[in-house]
Chain A
Amino acid sequence: MSQQTNKVLPQGVAESDFRAALEQFRALLGAENVLVESEQLVSYTKIMMPGDVARNTPSAAVTATSVEQVQGVVRICNRYRIPVWTVSTGNNFGYGSAAPGQRGQIVLDLKKMNRILHIDAELGTALVEPGVTYQQLYDYLQEHDIPLMLSFPAPSAIASPLGNTMDRGVGYTPYGEHFLMQCGMELVLANGEIYRTGMGGVEGDNAWQVFKWGYGPTLDGMFTQANYGICTKLGFWLMPKPPVSMPIEIKFEEDTDISDIVEFIRPLRLAQVIPNAVVIAGVIWEAATCNTTRAQYTTEPGATPDSILKQIQKDKNLGAWNVYACLYGTREQVEVNLNIVRGALQQLGKGKLVTEEEAGGTQPFDYRAKLMTGVPNLQEFGLYNWRGGGGSMWFAPVSQARGSECDKQYGLAKQILNKHGLDYVGEFIVGWRDMHHVIDVLYDRTDDDERARAEACFNELLDEFEKRGYAVYRVNTQFQERVAQSYGTTKRRVEHALKRALDPNNILAPGKSGIDLNNGFEL
């Protein structure tokens, strides 16, 4: 039996109690599912945030294979007041990965709960466990010749639909707002009880994955980006695979075009002529994902000069902004909608439309087309090689889908990033009426000075955007307390009242989204 060789303890837990808890975990899960040796835990410390690794080092990691085991883990944690940080597949790169939010928390890794419980080909629904990946689901649909299409984030192959949806992630298809497509959760509460949302509590019901609301208060949303329960099953809707999918790209030459692009796209998106979550990606993003690195152009420290960005744009045949959209339906429907898009573009008087045939299988068009048509891939990992050094933080403010707003956000973000010697590597994802402005703050973790600049930059981004009424929809674990402050004290007091009621011992992921009973918020 492996003994704990690391010296990390959960906060406030005596070593003897922790040892007793580990014994009980072993009895419940089997010794091989209780990881306490340093070598077993190093991979859980792989972070991309600027703080020291020690801040996010677990005391142990445990893996469960059933809901009953999750209930058992929660009961042991309650008994010894051990804080537990849950991950599904832990591939939330740039948001915290598989590392716990606070030092000493144990990680409950649900990777082994990886059963696809049900796919309804006629109704287009799925019910999965936390460890299921999009690749696994894609393979299942292919093997069983089920004509349904997935929507997923860029690290699609290895990410978990459950994890991404619970963190309110987005994809690039018409079903790209993943939480909107969620239908039915099963949660293990802090006291070990099982709670099912929507129709899930009704004995013998078969509408759990088709009707979201059930009866009385609908609580699904409060369990997302939260720490009130551990999600062990998630239902969601899948889009019927259309007879024709036509991915297109529209390249725009100047970075000052962003306002016009958004005004051009919004009516088409609202009218569902373009039904998918359209992407408007900047030049570095697109260059990096087709294997361009900064070092190929310059080794000088600091922000990459605009003159080099223009050169990259030219060399790689990119736009300053690259719009990716997809049309779906019958051949006739797609043809009609394509003509509408062409007409609108002609009216705009700028932008070059590229079809899949014209792109000829080249990157980045190819991986973008795959993302919009439900084929998993990992091409976007190329972002991590742009600057290199392992640092990445997603800064993701939302805005109205208005050109003036996007123009303002882009200008402000670029100015702050460049001031700190970093690059604007961003894209806008066009939601129904909103924009997710997603910026990858890439930096070199091996460089102490750059780490410090990245941290200062992220703080300044949060501060300056907040002054103008903007806030992020999601953030890495290092900044979750800071972002919670942006949303106001009343919200925090309500959240802590719920926490106190549902998890009085504060064992479930304390600190998640700034919710931690040690914060002292009272309603």
Chain B
Amino acid sequence: MDPKRRFLLKGMLASGAGGALLGSAGLAQAALGANRTGRVPTLLLSGSTEIENSFGAGVRAALPPGADFRPLRAGHVDAFAEACRSLSGNRPLRLIGMLDDASGELLIARARHAGARVSWLGLHAVDNRQTRHQIVNAPGTRTAVLALGEQLGTSAAGFALKSEQPFSEGRDLSLAGRRAGATTSDWATHLGHALAEPGRPVDSAALAARSARLEGRFVSFVIEV
């Protein structure tokens, strides 16, 4: 059996969510339905240069040539403020990003205050032993959860992925892997890619070449205005 397929099936069994989960064969099809963003301009907010070089690289790789895309410079003192201002503006846009916990907490509060739509909210903890990911997401970004799970299953040394579905009747998704010896370096790049364009095929080799190692605690988000 294909290792990816075996991994997903194991996850389905572990979570008890067999009926609710898609196999890898269904990913592309699901992605077509999930890519609702059309050509809304994308704003990328990275909390550090490391995030920009991993998560941000994935976002850049996913977007088609000519896409209306603007990165806010990592670490720039006004970047966070500009992102917050954009939430309250009249211009439709999609804010994708990854920040530290403190900034992430503030940004989500600002998004709520602005009445913005949050389709993805992730907590990530990564060290040299394992990666842990806890996601609250709207149904539209379920494909990205599966893409992250698939990537972790094939390349992460040890991981735990939990996706809470508080608004749906479907059960939460919980996946875990304990495989030793593999790299954890490109999870953020793949996640950036999956959140930016869920339907775009992943060129894993190209993404790996672009990615930088990212360790620590982070908050990821997709917010639409």
Contact = CB atoms under 8 A, between A and B. Distances in A.
Contact of A390 (B118, B140, B219): B219
B125 A446 contact: yes
A445 B121 contact: no
A444 interface: yes
B101 A389 contact: yes
B212 interface: no
B84 to A, nearest CB: 10
Contact of B118 (A39, A444, A446): A39
B119 A381 contact: no
A57 B124 CA distance: 21
Interface stretch (A11-19, A89-97, A218-226, A243-251): A89-97
B105 A90 contact: no
Given A7-B169, A388-B101, A390-B219, A158 B134 contact: no
Interface string B120-160: 01011101100011101111100000000000000000001
B100 A388 contact: yes
Interface in A22-49: 32, 35, 37-46, 48
Contacts, number: 132
Contacts of B115: 32, 35, 40, 63
B217 A444 contact: yes
B125 A40 contact: no
B125 A39 contact: no
A42 B123 contact: no
Given A42-B136, A382-B102, A446-B132, A389 B166 contact: no
B136 to A, nearest CB: 5
Contacts of A89: 113
Q: Which of B101, B117, B118 gathers the greatest number of chain A CB atoms within 10 Å? A: B101
B111 A445 contact: no
A157 to B, nearest CB: 9
Interface in B88-119: 100-106, 108-113, 115-119
A76 interface: no
Interface residues of A, number: 47
A43 B105 contact: no
A456 interface: no
Interface residues of B, number: 44
Contacts of B172: 52
B105 A384 contact: yes
Contacts of A35: 115
A378 B103 CA distance: 10
Q: Which of A46, A158, A381 gathers the greatest number of chain B CB atoms within 10 Å? A: A46
Given A7-B167, A53-B166, A444-B217, A46 B108 contact: yes
Interface string B154-181: 0000001010101111001000000000
Contacts of A42: 117-119, 121, 136-138
A52 B140 CA distance: 21
A389 B138 contact: no
Contacts of B219: 390
B66 interface: no
A295 B101 CA distance: 13
Contacts of B168: 6-7, 38
B217 A388 contact: yes
Given A46-B108, A90-B112, A98-B112, A39 B117 contact: yes
Given A42-B138, A299-B127, A53 B164 contact: yes
B123 A45 contact: no
Nearest to B168: A7
B166 A390 contact: no
B164 A385 contact: no
A447 interface: yes
B133 A385 contact: no
Nearest to A56: B166
B125 A447 contact: yes
Given A38-B167, A444-B125, A390 B117 contact: no
Contacts of B106: 158, 378, 381
A172 B115 CA distance: 32
Nearest to A381: B102
Contacts of B160: 446, 448
Nearest to A94: B105
Contact of B105 (A8, A45, A390): A390
Contacts of B217: 295, 385, 387-390, 444, 446
Contacts of A7: 167-169
B116 A52 contact: no
B119 A388 contact: no
A158 B140 CA distance: 30
A8 B101 contact: no
Given A43-B109, A158-B110, A158-B113, 20 more contacts: A8-B166, A38-B119, A38-B138, A38-B139, A39-B118, A39-B138, A46-B109, A53-B136, A57-B167, A90-B113, A91-B109, A158-B106, A378-B106, A381-B103, A381-B106, A389-B101, A389-B125, A390-B104, A390-B217, A446-B124
27 contacts: A38-B119, A38-B138, A42-B118, A42-B119, A42-B137, A43-B109, A44-B112, A45-B136, A46-B109, A89-B113, A97-B109, A158-B113, A381-B103, A381-B106, A383-B102, A384-B100, A385-B100, A387-B217, A388-B216, A388-B217, A390-B105, A390-B217, A446-B123, A446-B134, A446-B160, A446-B217, A448-B162
Interface of B: 100-106, 108-113, 115-119, 121, 123-125, 127-128, 132-134, 136-140, 160, 162, 164, 166-169, 172, 216-217, 219, 224
Nearest 3 A/B pairs, CB to CB = A388-B217, A6-B167, A43-B112
